Structure 1
Amino acid sequence: MPEFPSNNLVLGGLVACAVGVLGISYLLRRDRRKFTQVGVVSKLFVHPIKSCRGLEVSQAECVALGMRSDGVMDRSFLIVCPEGRFVSQRQQPSIALISPSLSEDKESVLVNAPGMPTLTVHLEDPKGPVYNIKLWRLMVEGEDCGQAASEWLSQYLGSPGYKLVRHSQRFKGKVFLEDSLWGSEGKRGERSAYQDLAQVNILSVASLDSLNSKLDKPVQIRNFRPNIVVEGTPAFYEDKWKYVRIGENILLRTTHLCGRCRQTTVDPDTGKFMENGDPLKTLKSYRMASPDDPYRNRYGAAPLFGTNLAIESFGCINLGDPVYASMV
């Protein structure tokens, strides 16, 4: 009687073939990438507290959870209201005036705002109570930064019960694949801190110039809170980038374009909504998803301005670094 291979051998062979096919597929996709220089890095921002003023830096490091400068992670702190929801400029435009900075010894974040004393928040884990907070479509964990931070925020915002929480190193972060809207664009192992989802946002100088040419009163790059600003590329060329390489080490993958909301209408210098509804109103007149965009329904009523990207390889970014893009 002829001998047949065991089920384990058959299964092993199938797995090996599948892995081989996937590996070849990956190599073919990688080989199709044609990187050309599209500009240089002209500005870098890290926003320690979500929705508050960012730090403009000369160098930043791309790590698993996003961008980091001098030990301060982008969007690693979050303001939470008394009802337990995260707070942004949409609800409290005055938090645009909350300005974090790094202490000289680089062990604390110093938080300032008009009419307020300086709040010192140590960067080491506070080991306070841990809360579960819904951040858009996913739950996140946040560790309480203490009573002093709570009292400072409550005084500034004029109501008791606000808290400042931070993303502890013990937390796994938001998992891209679990997001109900954009999870299909994620890859296994990708995660972020308190960013809306993807870890990095890129915007070009030319795109901002294009928008400002249509406005009665120009707006700032700070209205849009990008991490990386690229100079030397045509307006909205970043819409087409599938992969971005910065220098020799950093590789980023576009997950989706950035749908903009009411937060863009907060004047970052006054912490108040601009009465004319711009720049959002003007963006809606010419920057909506096209009818043939497969993601049009996901973007909904949000105009598109800037690009969200996932970090595929880690390293440092410096001002002036060349930026390369592949359209495939």
Structure 2
Amino acid sequence: MAAPLLLSDLYIYPVKSLGGIRLTEAQIEARGLRHDRRWLLVDEHNRFMTQRQTAAMAHLKVAPAYNGFLLSHQQRPELLPLYVPFTATPEKTLFVTIWDDMVFAWRAKPECDEWLSEALGQPCKLVYMSDMVRRDVEPEYNPEGQLVSFADGYPFLLIGQESLAELNTRLAEPVGMDRFRPNLVVSGGEPFAEDEWEQFQVGEATFRAVRACGRCVLTTINQHTAQKNTAGEPLRTLATYRTQGSKVMFGQNVTGPGQGILRLGDAVHIVSRKK
């Protein structure tokens, strides 16, 4: 008998492309989990920054703090941790570009920009997405009019624990789930079973798995050393059996109910499957 499906891990990433925080309980909001990817680093041209171009961002770790979080550099202890509140104030605003979207954002305090610019060795600014901003999920996959934060395109990313375990059987050096940056990790069932899900419930909250997530070079960056794998793993191995069209797929892009609470250990029930 197959193991029951359970929510086995729950993560938020307060700053896009920086370290995550593992939670035991999370509030669902219109743009995803509360505090997930509401902050963003932008360059001198106000364009979004990620580990794709700046692998050193993997060195910046995030820890929970009262009404906010602490940023620290795992290889530079002389840089004292920086406290960042979960929200910002609209004292200074600017327009920022993320993928094909341009949205207005609120600036962090100057000391945040200074700390991050020093930590990464290049000028950058930290900005916040307020509740007044409307950034939509891809229109062709979004009949419900769902919103998204500074995440790549969807409010949630889900991965099956067994899918990672199966991938690791094919790798010379196993990788952790942090390479793939999910919000929801589900255990039980068969590897890649989530590919078939459409509507599913986690606890009392109903979600929709919209489409598979195309993976990029970020998955090749060791989150402890910020070094790229010279052989292109695990992306290279994934490409041998998880390629659809021109993209390598791992995990599911998911939309949610806009409200509710998730807790580790919540039961997962499949309501409908993709046709």
- Say whether the fold is shared (TM-score over 0.5): yes
Moved over 6 A (4+): none
Structure 2 residue aligned with 1:79, among 41, 44, 50?
Answer: 41
Any idea what SS the aligned residue of 1:148 has? Answer: helix
Structure 1 residue aligned with 2:252, among 292, 307, 310?
Answer: 307
Structure 2 residue aligned with 1:221, among 156, 168, 177?
Answer: 177
Aligned to 1:206: 162
Q: State the 1:55 CA deviation.
A: 0.2
Any idea what SS the aligned residue of 2:178 has? Answer: helix
Structure 1 residue aligned with 2:73, among 110, 113, 126?
Answer: 113
Matched, 1:185 2:141: yes
Q: State the 1:96 CA deviation.
A: 1.3
Q: State the 1:126 CA deviation.
A: 2.6
Matched, 1:260 2:215: yes
Q: State the 1:212 CA deviation.
A: 0.6
Q: State the 1:140 CA deviation.
A: 2.4
Aligned to 2:191: 235
- In 2: Cα distance, 1:189 partner to 1:277 partner: 36
- 8 Å Cα contact 1:128-1:145 kept in structure 2: no
- 8 Å Cα contact 1:266-1:272 kept in structure 2: yes
More helix by share: 1
Structure 1 residue runs without a partner (length 5+): 1-36, 177-181, 290-295
- 8 Å Cα contact 1:204-1:230 kept in structure 2: yes
Any idea what the Cα deviations from partners look like across 1:185-210, whole Å, max 9, x if unmatched? Answer: 10243101111111011101110011
Q: Specify the structure having the higher radius of gyration (Cα).
A: 1
Q: State the 1:313 CA deviation.
A: 5.0
Aligned to 1:171: 133
- 8 Å Cα contact 2:32-2:258 kept in structure 1: no
Any idea what SS the aligned residue of 2:49 has? Answer: coil
Matched, 1:286 2:231: no
TM-score if structure 2 supplies the norm length?
Answer: 0.93
Aligned to 2:30: 64
Any idea what SS the aligned residue of 1:306 has? Answer: strand
- 8 Å Cα contact 1:60-1:316 kept in structure 2: yes
The size of the alignment, in residue pairs, is 269
- In 1: Cα distance, 2:177 partner to 2:269 partner: 21
The one-letter amino acid paired with 2:247 is: A
- 8 Å Cα contact 1:244-1:252 kept in structure 2: yes
Aligned to 1:130: 93
Matched, 1:162 2:121: no
Which deviates more, 306-315 or 213-222? 306-315
C-alpha RMSD of the superposition: 1.7
Aligned to 2:109: 146
The one-letter amino acid paired with 2:187 is: E
Say if 1:235 and 1:81 are closer, same or farther in 2 by CA, change over 3 A. Answer: same
Structure 2 residue runs without a partner (length 5+): none
Any idea what SS the aligned residue of 1:271 has? Answer: coil
Any idea what SS the aligned residue of 1:193 has? Answer: coil
- 8 Å Cα contact 2:215-2:247 kept in structure 1: yes
- In 2: Cα distance, 1:259 partner to 1:131 partner: 30
- In 2: Cα distance, 1:288 partner to 1:263 partner: 17
Aligned to 1:7: none
Matched, 1:270 2:270: no
Q: State the 1:129 CA deviation.
A: 2.1
Q: State the 1:141 CA deviation.
A: 2.3
Any idea what the Cα deviations from partners look like across 1:155-199, whole Å, max 9, x if unmatched? Answer: 11112x310111123323x112xxxxx421102431011111110
